[in-house]
Each structure stands twice: as structure tokens, then as C-alpha cells.
Structure 1
Amino acid sequence: MQQEAKTKHEAEDTNPLISLLRISSHLAGQVEIRAALRSVKTEIENLLPIDHLDVCLVDDKGIWNTVYEVGIRTRWSLSRSPVAHSPIRRILHNEIDYMMSGNAMEDPRYVYEGALAQPIIKHQLRSRVNVAMKVLGRTIGALNCSSRTPDLYDEHTLKRVQHIADVLAPYFYSLRATEKAQQSAIVRAEAQAREEGLRQGALELTQVLEQERQRIGMDLHDQTLADLTRIMRDLETAEAPEDTAAVICSIQDCIEDLRRIIDTAVPTLLEMFGFAHALRIHLEKAVGDVDGTSLLVSDDTNGGVDALNPTTRIALFRIAQEAINNAARHAGADQISVNVSLENSEMKITIADNGCGLDKSAAGANTDKVTGGVAHMRTRAKLIAADFKLSQRNGTRVQVRLPLPAGGNPTADKNETREAAQ
């Protein structure tokens, strides 16, 4: 009885129909392409000898193909590649239904100039049989079986691989459609998240602008308007020339206050002298005691910030302004540095100080103003798609990383503009 059972089991193992049914059974319930291919590898090996097995699927336009491998891992599955460079491009272009070779390493159909045939040479995949996988008459990819042994496959092998491809095709077509739907859902979710982030950023910026407008209004009301009212009264009572001189001096002070408010609202220094010089002037104004503070502004980009679009440049300037103000007025720093550099297609701006940080104990009564300033810096960075980081170890360090467009060097555009103007 045991001998009969063993004979019956061996007959089932060599029966192609039984193996095909088992392949269908293994595929049931699979939700990922590579896992599905792994699940049927053993059954395929029962039908023909293989050293390498892969499924190559093409996109809807037939331009790109993606390879899923089991067993040997080659560069074919590292990333999608152009169909035009595939050794089986004629199958993927729906020109032929199969290819077979006893030594693909020397077969010009597989190894030709421009072909991605490196895995064939590296792993010595001599015997190859490649069969189109079709759904509703359209080629969706190919099933590819290879062996290091030359002249191993024949017409009988080809038929078996065709039967396997017919079984696999609808399953893999469905799995690929599911994968694309999942990727599309992820892309949509990311787009919605970005849109919501921009919406929140715009809302926060509107709030910041409203606060800025209120601050300017209060400055004008509490200082400039009060000064003008006092000057008007002084003029009404002025009799002696010295009184008139005092009024003129007060008017000059009032004009200076107006200039300060205007410079705060619109960074004219930035427009006139450029990013690095404007920051250096602001640093000196913010510190007050210049002799007792070490100040350093360095630009390793050859004026790259000034070649950015005005909105981005002003946002970076405002971030640096806020960081400098916090260092000088709230952190008690006596060493403040600003550095602008290019790194990995990014512009990096770092504001560092040796102060006591921006926590509640350091900020004292101005805690809300400091934390609000940090929030404003984050918002400005978000709106120009820059990365913002703040660390407080051995002082405070604010770092902004701005991704640059293709080319990575804004000074190139600036030089081209200057040449065109000349």
C-alpha cells in the first residue's frame, strides 16, 4: 500500500495539470506581486529546471517595465527600466509571443548594444525561455525562465512555460492594478496633505501679517502720532529761536522713527545692499553693544540668496532677523553668527549663538513673544518649502534648508541675467 501511495504521489508531482492547479491554489489570496511569485516558484520548478525566474510587467503605455524576481536577485529588479533596452523588448512590444535560446550569452537577440543584458552575462544564464503574458489579447508582460546549463530547454519546455504564463497572467494583471490603485491613493493623500499644509500655512501667515499690521499701527499711534502732537503744541507756544531749534530737532527724531518703522515693514536695506550686508547691519542694530559682542556674517554662495525670487529672499531674511533678535534680546548671547552655504542642491542658512536658550527662564516676561517668533519662523519656512530646525545645546542654533531647482546654483541664473543685461 505504501509503495502504491508513493507511486501515485510521484505521478501527481510530474503531472503538469496537477502542478498548474497547485499554482492557481497558491496564488489565491495573494495581495503582493513578489510574494505571489515566491509562492509558485516551487511548483514551477516541479515542471522545469530553472536557476532564475522573473516576471516582467509593462506599464499601460508600453514604455517602462518592472521586473519581479525570485531566487537570484539582479539589477533587473532594482528599478524600472525602458522597454526599448530590455533583452525581451520584442515580446513586450507585442511583436512576438515567445523567445527561446540555448545560449543567451552569445545570442544577439538578447545581448546587443544598449541592452540591459548584464545579469545574463554576470550570472551565466545560458538557456532561456521567455513567454508573453496576455490578458484579453494584450501583452501585459512576460514570464522568464533561465538556467546556467546550455541547450536545456526545448519545444516541450516552451509549451509548459506557455501554460504557466496563461495561469499567471490574470492574477498578476489584477495584482498590478491593485498596486497602481494603492499608489494612486497614496499620491492623492500626500497631495491633500500638502494642500492642507499650504492652507494652514497661508492662514498662519495671514495672522502674522495682521499682527504685523497691528504692531505698525501701535508704533505709529503710540510713538509717532504722540510725537507729532507734542511738536504741534511746542510750535504753538514757541517764541524764542532756541524753542524753534528744539522743535526742529524733535521733527528730525520723528522722521528717524518713521524711517525705522518703514524699514521694519519693507526691508529697504535688503534691496539696496543685499542679504549678507543687510543682515550684518540688522545684527549690529539688534545687539546695541557692538564692542561687547562678537558678530560674524559669512556668505559662501557668492551672493546666491540675492538671486532667489523676492518672496523667498524676504522670507529667509525675516527668519534670520527673528533668530538674531531672539539671540540678542532674549538669550543674552555675546557671540552671534550667520552663515549661508550650498550643500547637496540645497541652500543652508544657519544662525547660531552662545546664549542661554529660549526657554521660559531665559525669556522671562517675553516668553509669549519668543515662542510666537519661533512659530512665525516655522511658518515662513513652510511657505517657501524649506526645512526648519531649531536646537538648543550650548546656545541656540536655527537652521533653514531650502531645496534649489534643477541646476542647484542660483548664482548661475544671476550671472546669466547680468550677461543678458550687458
Structure 2
Amino acid sequence: MTHGLTAPAKGDVFLRISAHLAERTDIATALEAVAGEIAEVIPFTHADLCLNDRPGWLSSYEVGIRTRWSRARTRVDASPIRELITGHCDFMLCTDAMHDPRQTFEGACSEPIFNHKLRSRVHVLMKVMGQPIGTLNISHSTPGLYSEDTVTRAQHVADVLSPYFHALHTAEQAQRATQVGQEARAREEGLRRGALELTQTLEQERQRIGMDLHDQTLADLTRLLRTVTGDGRLDRAGLGQHISETITDLRRIIDTAVPTLLELFGFAHAVRVHLERAVRDQTIALDVQDDTDGAPDRLDPTVRTAMFRIAQEAINNAARHSGATRIGVYIAPHAPRGLTMTIRDNGSGMPDTPDRHSGLAHIRTRARLISAGLDITNDYGCALRVTLERQP
């Protein structure tokens, strides 16, 4: 079945197409503007242009029916027109695309063909200066509607459309590149401001810690120095009590600083800093690995803090009591949406009846409060594993 136009009528259609396109500045409205003229040459249910986008991808612009083809870019190797766009043929003509293996192969983005019963299809190349820029694709729900004469007509339409749509597409890509550049500059400015704010926050934190150390810890140490260097009799019990209180106050200052470190630099960094502090001058190899792309920092703040406190207690136990020469903290994904944190050392292992001051009770409590699994194994050292089945 063919649909004929006389030569003058055909020329008039193409003149109208050119006139419409001369008034348009974007691809979508330009295609809408010439849809009626294309239908005069070739009746269609659906028509679209597939234009080469970035390497290996196509952008689609549709009239007649809106499908997923125009909602997202399509990979060339998944496109129903891949044989044409990759140069394996000069055109494609389908009597019934729903049963054509060239269009419905495994992995093909062919849902619109079935959803809208696009049976008759004709595809021709669009070229500018002899180079393919994309394809013109025309479809109809009636099977067997198109013939080789239709291919010729479609090629005439494509030849008229190609230079206009190439210019519009080039302008669109240039505009997109400009927008990407502006977004990149905005991100760079955001990073600059973030770095400035971070520097200011760190300075404020340094000043706060300095004031706490000056007003409290330094005053306590000065008082203790006077006590031990004075002429009076030393009260060892009282002196021990004062030293214990000073240590407690100093630990409070450190502990209040660490969550700020957690907020500023993230979970893995805060864990490493605590690990380094815990081992002090001991010759212990340290390792911190996060294979989750920062998943702990996407946890609810309360859960993240609890995980950090668990890591602190386990690290302290390993550094003080295990005799280990290596301590590591490892964070890994746990299917389907969880994570695990393992604190592992090569020391003596957890005793069967751990000291009540070991912090293990606190670890168990914190794990329960965040509904995390806790597993402790002694195997060439100790491995304490905390598992969150689902990231909150």
C-alpha cells in the first residue's frame, strides 16, 4: 500500500516544512510544528528523531505518542535502530516490528513498540555533510502499511529536516555545556565557602578547648604542683583523689571534642584519630578501612554516635588489655541495605569473664539501643562485629 503525492504537492510540503523550522529555536517545538506536513507525506501513529548525543547514546524527540524514548537517553546497543545507527544497513523497513528480531532483541529498549502496537516502522538516516547525525523514525499501528516507496519518501523528509535539527541540537548541546560549566563553578564556590566555614569552626573549637584546658585542667595541675612541692605533709589519698578528678575532667574535654571531629571530618577519620590516641606511644600497626563509600555518615546522627562510641570502647579494650601489635577497624556493606563494623586485633582475645570495667557492658547496651547485632569471636585475637541490618 502506498500513499502518493504529486511533484508540486511534495515541493509545497517541503517548503512549508522549511518555513516552519525557520521560526523555531528548540527541537521539541520544531518537530511539533512540522508533524502535520510529515503526516501528509507519510501517515503515522508515532514519529521521532533519534539524534547522536554523547558517544554511545541517543536522544529522542517524539510526536504523535509520548513514550519512554523521549523521557531518557537510550544506549545505542539497546536501541531498536542499532543496526542502522551503527552502519550495518542503509535503512530499516519493518512490516510488523512486534515480531521483528532486529527491534525486539534481548535487552532492547522496545517497550513502546509493544505498549503502543507500533507495527509498521520505517527508519532512515539523517546526515549533514555526509556524516550521520541520527535517524528519522516513523511508525504506524497498522501492519504492512509501509513499502520501499515509503523509505524513499522518509529519506526526502530526513534530508530536509537534517540541517535544521543539527543546528538546533548543536545549540542545545552548547547551552547544556554552558549550564554544566556554571554548575561546576557553583560547586567550586560552595567548596570554597565550605572550607572557609570549616576553618572558622575549627578555630572556634580550638579556642573552646584551649579555654577549658586553661580554666580547669591547668588550674587543677597548678594546684597539684603546689601540693607536691610544698613543705606540708603529703596526703596521698587526697592527692590521688585530686589527680583522678583532673583525669576525669580532662577526659570530658576530650570526649566532647571528638563528636565535633565526627561532624567535621566524618566517621572514618574520627575513628582513626581515636585509634591513634588510644595506642599513644605503643608500637601497634593501625588500619581503618571504609568500603561503604561513607555510609556511616549517612546514618541517623544518634545511630552514628552510638556506633562511634562502640568503636571507642572496643579500641580502648584492644589498646589497653590485649597486647596486640595490630588493631584495625573495617566498615563493609551488609546486604541488602545494612553495614557491618568490625574492630579486630591480633592480641590475647577477650577473656571468658571480662573485667566489669572493660566497657563490654556499655558496648552491648549501645548495640541494643540502635537494634544492632553484636558478635564477638576469639580467633587469632579478637574480632568484635556490629551489624546494622538496615541503615535508618
Tell me the TM-score range normalised by the shorter chain. 0.5 to 0.7
Matching residue of 1:18? 12
Matching residue of 1:31? 25
Gaps (5+ residues) in structure 1? 1-10, 276-306, 315-342, 352-403
Deviation track 1:345-373 (CA, whole Å, cap 9, x = no partner) reads 9523359xxxxxxxxxxxxxxxxxxxxxx
Give the helix-richer structure, 1 or 2.
1
Distance 2:215 2:229 in 1: 22
The DSSP-based 3-state class of the residue aligned with 1:150 is: coil
Q: 2:172 aligns with which of 158, 171, 179?
A: 179
Matching residue of 1:330? none
- Shifted more, 42-51 versus 117-126: the winner is 117-126
CA distance 1:199–1:311, change in 2 (3 Å): farther
What is the one-letter code of the residue matched to 2:111?
Q
Matching residue of 1:349? 301
Matching residue of 1:115? 108
The DSSP-based 3-state class of the residue aligned with 1:99 is: strand
- Shifted more, 247-256 versus 26-35: the winner is 247-256
CA distance 1:313–1:67, change in 2 (3 Å): farther
Distance 1:219 1:227 in 2: 11
Q: 1:101 aligns with which of 79, 90, 94?
A: 94
1:135 and 1:170 in contact (8 A); partners too: yes
1:53: Cα distance to partner? 1.0
Distance 1:233 1:414 in 2: 46
What is the one-letter code of the residue matched to 1:86?
S
**1:20-419 counterparts in 2 under 5 A?**
20-61=14-55, 63-235=56-228, 237-240=230-233, 246=238, 249-266=241-258, 308-311=267-270, 346-349=298-301, 409=337, 411-412=339-340, 414=342
What is the one-letter code of the residue matched to 2:153?
R
TM-score, length basis structure 2: 0.63
- How many equivalent pairs are there? 293
TM-score, length basis structure 1: 0.59
Distance 1:83 1:416 in 2: 48
What is the one-letter code of the residue matched to 1:103?
D
Distance 2:269 2:185 in 1: 27
What is the one-letter code of the residue matched to 1:349?
P
Gaps (5+ residues) in structure 2? 274-294, 304-331, 346-376, 384-392
CA distance 1:190–1:413, change in 2 (3 Å): farther
Report sequence identity in percent: 49
The DSSP-based 3-state class of the residue aligned with 1:411 is: strand
1:124: Cα distance to partner? 2.8
1:194: Cα distance to partner? 2.1
Distance 2:131 2:215 in 1: 78
Computed over aligned residues only, the root mean square deviation of the Cα atoms, in angstroms, reads 3.9
The DSSP-based 3-state class of the residue aligned with 1:216 is: helix
2:217 and 2:249 in contact (8 A); partners too: yes
CA distance 1:254–1:168, change in 2 (3 Å): same
1:34: Cα distance to partner? 1.6
Distance 1:135 1:151 in 2: 30
